[in-house]
Amino acid sequence: MTDLPKHKGALAAGSFPIGLKYANRKLVLNAFRANDVLSSVDVSGLIGVSRQTSSKAIDFFLENGLLECIGKGDTTEVGGRPPEQYRLSRKISFLCINVESECIIVRSVNLHSEIIKTVVQPIPVQIVQDLLWRAIEEISSEIISDMEEKANLRGVCFTIRGLVKHNTGTLQYSTYYTSWTPNEPIREKLKAIFPWINRFFIDKPVKIFARSLFSAYEEQLQGKRCLVIYSQKGIGTGLIHNGIIEDGANSLIGEIGHMILEPKFPITCSCGNNGCFEQLISIDQLRSIVLERAGDFAGSILVSKDISSLMYEDIFNASRKGDKLARFLCDYMAEYFSIMYRNTAVVFDPEVIVFQGNFAHADKYFLDKFQDRTRRFQYFGDSYNIQIIIDKRDISELLSDGSINAILTDFFSDPNIYV
């Protein structure tokens, strides 16, 4: 069993009964979240309340379906009847719907963070709104196929690329779906598909990628400011402080890919500006540099490669072998990464940087150069000590772990399930 902090003051004089009951129920449910199977005696010992209190809370959660009885356990050392054993219900479910550039991924999950079913359906790169919602409805009907499953569905987590306003549940703007009208009402569309559901957690993928860290790197991030950098086709970040992902009034926190670093850059970004960070370190820009400087690095592995197929991993692999052009490109990228980081540090000052996606495959040369250039910022002084975490999980795992964390955290944070 996983020990939990004892509940000091659970029976303190002067406590309001409703508040006390709420607090005890929350402790009981947390005990089941940390342990698969428990008896009322186990719960009582774990959280420091009486057996009667734990039994009443368990009865409450049995009645509302959050717990289930799985039979009797083993006889105790002192004899007597075997205790009833309980666990979080495996019937209650949630849907995690992730709209990616070329497919929709829909997973049903339970309270134990277990994936029950997964459906992946290809979609056109520039799918129109109506077709997207129709496809989501069809896939969801395939996963949630009968009345009992519908009754036990308690919430939906939804992600889509673009500027998603988490608080309003709208897709304000997307550079990926350029034909869409602004302010797509995602929550309303989901409510039309799932009219019996009131819990919808809607966000952009990079924020979900950041949430995936709460299960994989919880100890390393405890109480720290963290900058999560994810790069695939574009680049985005999540900013975590004390276990909370920062969002902002307009959900713009984390759009670091559109931080302007070279205003005179000749190509206009999809956001309407010039010289955005993600433009400067994009694979298209790196391919242009290879073509431009090929004559200076005639013996490079990269020069002999088909330029249209050149990817970040090719550059980092060549750099590992000491290829001079690859290291020239690593120097170039490290410079812009360090400028981005220094700009971020003056408003957020992270202690941890997590690389996901393309730059999770970066070689030691790039990472060392990034740190060397960052140290030039004199405000850091001798205290500069940034922890770098390389998270090599693929996008499917990041989406899965992050979406499950998002919807379950949202569910268990709801006061209504304890009253």
Q: Taking 70 as the threshold, does the pLDDT of residue 8 lie above it?
A: no
In a domain, 7, yes or no: no
In a domain, 159, yes or no: yes
Among residues 207, 239, 242, the alpha carbon closest in space to that of 222 is found at 242
Mean pLDDT value across residues 200-221:
91
Each residue's pLDDT tens digit, 121-158: 999 888 888 999 999 999 999 999 888 899 999 999 99
Of 88, 109, 125, the last residue of a domain is: 88
Q: Considering Cα of 212, then 213, then 219, then 221, what sign does the dihedral take?
A: negative
Beta bridge partners of 338: none
Residue 78: predicted pLDDT: 55
Are residue 364 and residue 298 in the same domain, yes or no? Answer: yes
Residue 254: predicted pLDDT: 82
In a domain, 9, yes or no: no
- pLDDT classification of 294: cutoffs 50, 70, 90: very high
Whole-model pTM over 0.75: yes
Each residue's pLDDT tens digit, 316-329: 999 999 999 999 99
Give the domain extent around 51. Answer: 17-88
Are residue 271 and residue 379 in the same domain, yes or no? Answer: yes
Are residue 117 and residue 194 in the same domain, yes or no? Answer: yes
CA 334/CA 345 separation, integer angstroms: 16
- pLDDT classification of 80: cutoffs 50, 70, 90: low
CATH code, domain with 275: 3.30.420.40
Are residue 203 and residue 109 in the same domain, yes or no? Answer: yes
Token duo for residue 355: 């690389």
Are residue 402 and residue 385 in the same domain, yes or no? Answer: no
Mean pLDDT value across residues 233-257:
85
In a domain, 147, yes or no: yes
Q: Taking 80 as the threshold, does the pLDDT of residue 11 lie above it?
A: no
- pLDDT classification of 76: cutoffs 50, 70, 90: low
Are residue 84 and residue 97 in the same domain, yes or no? Answer: no
Query: Domain count of the chain?
Result: 3
Are residue 204 and residue 63 in the same domain, yes or no? Answer: no
CATH code, domain with 40: 1.10.10.10
Q: Mean pLDDT, the chain, as a whole number?
A: 89
In a domain, 113, yes or no: yes
Question: Which carries the bigger pLDDT value, residue 386 or residue 307?
Answer: 307
Crossing angle between the packed helical segments 17-34 and 40-47, to the nearest 10 degrees: 110
In a domain, 277, yes or no: yes
Task: Spell out the residues 6+ positions from residue 103 whose beta carbon is closer than 8 angstroms to its own.
Answer: 120, 121, 122, 123
Q: Taking 80 as the threshold, does the pLDDT of residue 24 lie above it?
A: yes
Token duo for residue 343: 């700009």
Mean pLDDT value across residues 209-221:
89
